[in-house]
Structure 1
Amino acid sequence: MLPRSVVLLLWRLLALACLLLAAIGVVLPGLPTVPFLLVAAWAGGHGWPALERWLLAHPRYGPGIRRWREGGVIPRRAKWAATLMMSASALVIVFLTPMPTWAKVLVPGTMAIVALWMWGRPER
């Protein structure tokens, strides 16, 4: 068993890494922001309560995190944006990326499964 201080440090490192990826996702198309914020809030809840409170109170991202926690809600606008980005990515992978055939099938197939799951989530 790891000492509590090490466990807290690991939770904080995960939260910070996800915050960094979320910040990059704000400016880099194709890298999602919200999933990383969800993980950052989750990790913060385990090892950094002040960070979790800050994320939940954030004026822009807090409501989405709270809606997800309360009922797994994904707004329709976010569903459309994610679907369009996954579709564009799948087209690039299939037609422009030199990958093995199995990967050109597996990656878009995985995206399709994620899209089906996502569209099954509540919107309110």
Structure 2
Amino acid sequence: MRLFWAFCGFAALALGLVGIFLPLLPTVPFLLLAAFCFARSSERMHLWLTTHPVLGPPIRDWQASGAISLRAKRLATASMAVVLVLSIVLGVRPLILSIQAVVLACAALFIWTRPSA
């Protein structure tokens, strides 16, 4: 079972790292998932990830208080707005736009109701 959790941890870490460079792929949720998986499979990898100078702070903020940095909140909201505007420009059907707007609004509401780190 540890091998399964390790595999999932490395897969989530890889997706999180790709998300640093692709604005539509979220980074922190994948890092949180990687930390969760590594906590069940590899104490060494969990410690490395949570103490990493770049990747560790958002994980520690979330684990300590469910907090999201103000910068991350702004970036996430801007990304959601860009995606919605791009969908409008590309002529996505109104029903799909409506669903997309509701989902993005719910995601933004969740993000902005978390404490700020």
Distance in 1 between residues matched to 2:91 and 2:65, nearest whole Å: 37
Report the Cα distance in structure 2 between the residues aligned to 1:101 and 1:49, rounded to whole angstroms: 48
Question: How big is each residue's C-alpha offset from its partner over 1:28-59, in whole Å with a ceiling of 9 and x where there is no partner?
Answer: 22222111111101111112221111011101
Q: How does 1:5-44 map to 2 (within 5 A)?
A: 7-44=1-38
Aligned to 1:61: 55
2 CA distance for matches of 1:38 and 1:105? 29
Distance 2:63 2:3 in 1: 24
Return 5+ residue gaps in structure 2 as ranges: none
- Aligned-partner Cα distance in 2 for 1:110–1:78: 18
Give secondary structure in 1 for the equivalent of 2:5. helix
Structure 1 residue 97, shift from structure 2 partner: 5.3
Describe the SS at the equivalent of 2:110: helix
Give secondary structure in 1 for the equivalent of 2:114: coil
Equivalent-residue separation in structure 2 for 1:16 and 1:101 (angstroms): 38
- Corresponding position of 2:106: 113
Per the alignment, residue 3 of structure 1 pairs with none
Unaligned regions of 5+ residues in structure 1, if any?
1-6
Residue 26 of structure 1: how far off its partner (Å): 1.7
The amino acid across from 2:96 in the alignment is A
1:64, distance to aligned residue in structure 2 (A): 1.5
- The normalised TM-score by structure 2 is 0.90
Over the aligned positions, Cα root-mean-square deviation in angstroms equals 1.5
CA–CA separation in structure 2 for the residues paired with 1:63 and 1:37:
11
Shift of 1:95: 3.1
Q: CA distance change for structure 1 residues 102 and 49 in 2, over 3 Å: closer, same or farther?
A: farther
- Relative distance call for 1:43 and 1:97 in structure 2 (3 A) is farther
Q: How many residues align?
A: 117
Larger Rg: 1
User: The residue matched to 2:53 in structure 1 has which SS?
Assistant: coil
State the identity %. 36
